[in-house]
Copies of this chain bind each other. A is one copy, B any other.
Amino acid sequence: MDRLKEECGVFGIFNNKDAAALTALGLHALQHRGQEACGIVTFDEKKFHAERRLGLVGDNFTKGKILDKLPGSSAIGHNRYSTAGNNLIRNVQPFYADLHFGGIGIAHNGNLSNALYLRKELVKNGSIFQTTSDTETIVQLIAKSKRSKIIDRIIDALFKIQGGYALTLLLNNKLIGIRDPFGIRPLIIGKINKSYVLASESCALDIIGAKFIREIENGEIVIITEKGIESIKPFPKIKERPCIFEYIYFSRPDSIIKNTSFYEYRKKLGVELAKESHIESDLIIPVPDSGVPAAIGYSEQVKKNVQLGIIRNHYVGRTFIEPTQQIRSLGVKLKHNVNKTLIKNKSIILIDDSLVRGTTSVKIIKMLHEAGAKEVHLRIASPPIKFPDYYGVDTPNKNELLASKNNLDQMKKIVNAKSLKFLSIQGLYKAMGYESRNTSFPQFTDHCFTGDYPIKPLDANEKNFVDNQISFITSKS
């Protein structure tokens, strides 16, 4: 897929007799944040229970039979798409461990930028890791802490780790939510009847009918017990700097942040895009489904209707035919098809939310031309992506990012568009409601466009260590 990928969605609920079922529903609403695997850990006042599966929530956590294996009134859950750690079942979250003070479950959205560095130290001192995931590093640090109170052990660990993280932790009498000091990854608090809920996005509250309470702040630890909510802020106070890609396309369009739905943020991106780079043409066509909200904003701005010129096949499974070379040369259209009679002899404005490798644009523009389109003007509702991410967004290597090696004119030629325009950085910040980007302390984590990284990624140097260290390939059944 020619897309950036979110690494995960997390969920947690405390003191609710349907804890596992509600967690499954919450994860289902967050399914767009990770489709490789999912898991739930519950606590039933005596023991912890865990079920972790490859695949979708709806295919794995739907039956009474599996929910019966997850008794208890508190739960955390996790949807996984992950670069750190391969897709073996042993890396599926939530991670669980029996520590000296009792059990601990942890679900993590984000990525630590010094996990391997820390792992190396821990292994040298005798720790044995059972996964290749960075999440385990946090738990190993907690296990090693010399502090006596659990919260102090957790803070000990937080002071060592770096990167983007939104965590839900389940202990034997508390549910904890944590966001990293910059608030790169999102985490919100909701409430259903008397039960507090933690979730990556508000759509996970909507599905179960929970009310939105507030965001967890950047650098905040929220501890939920029978007595209620407690908040700790162990880090020096700084302004938040959330990941801009949540606004551009990770979050579900119906999720809401700061009183505005992501659908509306994206329409505004389309409005700004139209202001910057509109050109007369016969049709405005979004790349489905990613370009639709921006295209609607664009079309409102230029007062011309959107058209469904490209149709998406909703039944595309995870894998499909690896066609023979002969078949491949036919240019198989597994995922998209063009609405031929609409497109023929027309000039087209084609709108998408972003451009990563460019392969999708190349394919769709080729399809449009073959169907008889006169000319295609490609408009991208975000700036060119030039730099990789290290805090929880799965970006290709720098040299696979089309914009990192090519200028605008070269890209135009590669995708074979008549014209190509990106939204400017200023346009992006305007759409988000700011007059301009604060260059000394940007309002968003936007290094993929600007190269302005909030945290230095230490692990880049540790790659070799890992290749040697994690020598183990296993499968079970």
- Which A residues have a C-beta under 8 Å from some C-beta of B? 17-18, 21-22, 24-25, 28-29, 31-32, 35, 46-54, 56-64, 67, 69, 89, 92, 96-100, 102-103, 123-124, 126-130, 139-140, 143-145, 172, 192, 203, 206-209, 252-254, 256, 259-261, 263-264, 289, 292-293, 296, 299-300, 305-308, 311, 313-324, 326-327, 330-334, 337-342, 469-477
Given contacts A472-B47, A475-B51, A18 and B324 within 8 Å (CB-CB): yes
- Cα distance A50–B145 in the bound complex, in angstroms: 32
- Cα distance A144–B123 in the bound complex, in angstroms: 9
Q: Are the CB atoms of B100 and A124 closer together than 8 Å?
A: yes
- Cα distance A63–B260 in the bound complex, in angstroms: 44
- Cα distance A474–B29 in the bound complex, in angstroms: 24
- Chain B residues contacting A324 (CB-CB under 8 Å) are 18, 21
- Chain B residues contacting A130 (CB-CB under 8 Å) are 128, 130
- Chain B residues contacting A340 (CB-CB under 8 Å) are 206, 254, 256, 261
Total identical chains: 4
Cβ contacts A to B, 11 pairs, < 8 Å: A21-B321, A25-B321, A28-B321, A50-B472, A56-B317, A58-B317, A58-B319, A206-B333, A207-B333, A261-B339, A263-B308
Separation in Å of the A167 CB from the closest CB of chain B?
A: 17
New contact pairs (11) apart from A28-B321, A127-B127, CB-CB < 8 Å: A17-B326, A48-B472, A51-B474, A54-B477, A69-B473, A100-B124, A206-B333, A208-B332, A254-B338, A260-B341, A296-B307
Q: Are the CB atoms of B129 and A143 closer together than 8 Å?
A: no
- Chain B residues contacting A28 (CB-CB under 8 Å) are 313, 315, 320-321, 334
Q: Are the CB atoms of A334 and B25 closer together than 8 Å?
A: yes
- Cα distance A64–B320 in the bound complex, in angstroms: 10
- Cα distance A308–B24 in the bound complex, in angstroms: 26
Which of B143, B326, B339 makes the CB contact (< 8 A) with A128?
B143
Q: Are the CB atoms of B332 and A25 closer together than 8 Å?
A: yes
- Cα distance A144–B63 in the bound complex, in angstroms: 43
- Cα distance A406–B22 in the bound complex, in angstroms: 37
- Chain B residues contacting A293 (CB-CB under 8 Å) are 308
- Cα distance A172–B476 in the bound complex, in angstroms: 22
Q: Are the CB atoms of A264 and B342 closer together than 8 Å?
A: yes
Given contacts A49-B473, A96-B472, A327-B25, A253 and B311 within 8 Å (CB-CB): yes
Q: Are the CB atoms of B471 and A58 closer together than 8 Å?
A: no
Given contacts A21-B327, A123-B100, A314 and B314 within 8 Å (CB-CB): yes
Q: Are the CB atoms of B140 and A69 closer together than 8 Å?
A: no
CB nearest neighbor in B for A203: B337
Given contacts A63-B322, A208-B330, A319-B58, A102 and B471 within 8 Å (CB-CB): yes
Q: Are the CB atoms of A299 and B308 closer together than 8 Å?
A: no
- Cα distance A376–B322 in the bound complex, in angstroms: 47
Given contacts A31-B313, A128-B139, A308-B253, A263 and B339 within 8 Å (CB-CB): yes
CB nearest neighbor in B for A468: B102
Q: Are the CB atoms of B292 and A296 closer together than 8 Å?
A: no
- Cα distance A99–B67 in the bound complex, in angstroms: 37
- Cα distance A29–B311 in the bound complex, in angstroms: 11
- Cα distance A169–B254 in the bound complex, in angstroms: 48
- Chain B residues contacting A289 (CB-CB under 8 Å) are 314
The 7 closest A-B pairs by CB, nearest first: A58-B317, A130-B130, A31-B315, A126-B144, A254-B311, A50-B474, A209-B330
- Cα distance A206–B341 in the bound complex, in angstroms: 13
Which of B48, B57, B62, B308 makes the CB contact (< 8 A) with A296?
B308
